[in-house]
Chain A
Amino acid sequence: MCEVMVVTSGKGGVGKTTTTANIGVGLAMRGKRVAVIDTDTGLRNLDLLLGLENRIMYDLVDVTSGRVAYKKALVRHKKFETLYLLPTSQVRDKSAVKPEQLVELVTEMRNEFDYILIDCPAGLEQGFQTAIAAADVALVVTTPEISSVRDADKIIGELGRADKETIKLIVNRIRPMMVEKGDMLNMDDINEILSLECIGQIPDDEAVVTATNRGEPVITIDSSMAGRAYRNIVARICGEAVPFMTFPREGFLARLRRLFGM
């Protein structure tokens, strides 16, 4: 049985592609056969995050236009050999792939994979409609910022209109210190507003930046908090009940020290 998940958000820059790359790698680390499809045509980046940018021969538009078979366009990951990337075109725009075309392609791919992850472009335009068309499950990524939560709410409405019933939430770039001080929306606030099942709470972590720099998703870094949060998401996707992480609190002494600038 293959599960097709679209990673979407509405707002740009909240970590859709990072999330797609990490979940893709995480599932492959468990031996699952995974395909990640970049549908952010014209602004492709999933290849970079996976460190596969130099190995692209064909792209999604070549496949949907019938120029090559999809298997020819797939790029196999060197380290995680059950992970394949279907990159998109960097020269065409988001209208180059129609929703029906993606549905047809994904239907064909279902037999070969356990999971297919679709990285959705930002916005509500045709690129979004195409990306969600073939998905069984939608993963909505947001950050604890009002603009991003508002856009997530809008996207959830659109997903509902498109009859996507299984929608799960991932909250990215949480800053535990700010939450503790009451200066950032906390998980209860976000749950109350969006009322979705939450499958991930990812702390803001510099390791995400350094990992991205190297083209090795942070999920592979054992010591990273964000990496651990992503591994928990993957476990939940695989049906395991994993409790949410608690973040180390800032102790009274540390707070006092910060107050006096020590």
Chain B
Amino acid sequence: MFKSLLKMLGIGDEQPSGVVAKDRLKMVIIHDRTSVSPEVMKRFRADLIKVLSNYFEIDEHDMNLSLESESNSCALIASIPLRGMRGRVAKT
């Protein structure tokens, strides 16, 4: 009962389910619209890391890759923190 009292006052720890619904829906709709499944994104991420690692030392854990949509368009947004250049060019 204490929990529901907290929830009633809007200071519960759980997110309201409507917010969860919106987040899940936004995610799934972006993938529907671009016909890119989360599985494809996972493989893309792995490939991207492989290629980038030839040139940069990247911070894999803080790397952020997402599809975002505004009313009529979708964009691939990538934020890839670098640890430092790994030499100027790898090998020629």
Q: Judging by beta carbons under 8 Å apart, are B33 and A195 in contact?
A: no
> A128–B69 Cα gap in the complex (Å)?
26
Beta-carbon nearest neighbor of B7 in chain A = A181
> A178–B17 Cα gap in the complex (Å)?
10
Q: Judging by beta carbons under 8 Å apart, are B5 and A193 in contact?
A: no
In this complex, the member of B1, B4, B25 whose beta carbon has the largest number of chain A beta carbons within 10 angstroms is: B25
Q: Judging by beta carbons under 8 Å apart, are A149 and B16 in contact?
A: no
- Residue count of chain B within 8 Å CB distance of chain A: 19
Q: Judging by beta carbons under 8 Å apart, are A157 and B33 in contact?
A: yes
The total number of A-B Cβ pairs within 8 Å is 49
Contact A259-B28, Cβ < 8 Å, known A183-B16, A183-B18, A185-B18: no
- Residue count of chain A within 8 Å CB distance of chain B: 20
Beta-carbon nearest neighbor of B5 in chain A = A259
Q: Judging by beta carbons under 8 Å apart, are A150 and B28 in contact?
A: yes
Q: Judging by beta carbons under 8 Å apart, are B32 and A182 in contact?
A: no
User: Does A146 sit within 8 A of B, measured CB to CB?
Assistant: yes
Chain B residue numbers with a CB within 8 Å of A255 are 8
Chain A residue numbers with a CB within 8 Å of B5 are 259
> A186–B4 Cα gap in the complex (Å)?
22
Q: Judging by beta carbons under 8 Å apart, are B18 and A153 in contact?
A: no
Q: Judging by beta carbons under 8 Å apart, are A193 and B29 in contact?
A: yes
> A228–B38 Cα gap in the complex (Å)?
43
> A154–B29 Cα gap in the complex (Å)?
8
Q: Judging by beta carbons under 8 Å apart, are A153 and B33 in contact?
A: yes
Q: How far is the CB of B68 from chain A (nearest CB, A)?
A: 12
Q: Judging by beta carbons under 8 Å apart, are A153 and B32 in contact?
A: yes
Beta-carbon nearest neighbor of A160 in chain B = B72
User: Does B21 sit within 8 A of A, measured CB to CB?
Assistant: yes
User: Does A57 sit within 8 A of B, measured CB to CB?
Assistant: no
Q: Judging by beta carbons under 8 Å apart, are B71 and A182 in contact?
A: no
Beta-carbon nearest neighbor of B70 in chain A = A195
User: Does B26 sit within 8 A of A, measured CB to CB?
Assistant: yes
Partner of A182, one of B1, B17, B25: B17
Q: Judging by beta carbons under 8 Å apart, are B25 and A193 in contact?
A: yes
Known interface pairs A153-B33, A181-B16; 16 further A-B residue pairs with C-beta atoms within 8 A, sorted by A's residue number: A146-B21, A146-B24, A150-B25, A150-B28, A150-B32, A153-B32, A157-B33, A182-B17, A183-B17, A185-B18, A185-B25, A189-B18, A189-B21, A189-B22, A195-B72, A259-B4
Q: Which 6 A-B pairs have the closest CB atoms?
A: A182-B16, A195-B71, A189-B22, A182-B18, A146-B25, A183-B17
19 pairs from A and B in contact (CB 8 Å cutoff)? A146-B21, A149-B29, A150-B25, A150-B29, A153-B32, A153-B33, A157-B33, A182-B17, A182-B19, A183-B16, A183-B18, A184-B18, A185-B18, A185-B25, A189-B21, A189-B22, A193-B25, A195-B72, A259-B1
- A: residues with CB less than 8 A from B are 145-146, 149-150, 153-154, 157, 178-179, 181-186, 189, 193, 195, 255, 259
- B: residues with CB less than 8 A from A are 1, 4-5, 8, 16-19, 21-22, 24-26, 28-29, 32-33, 71-72
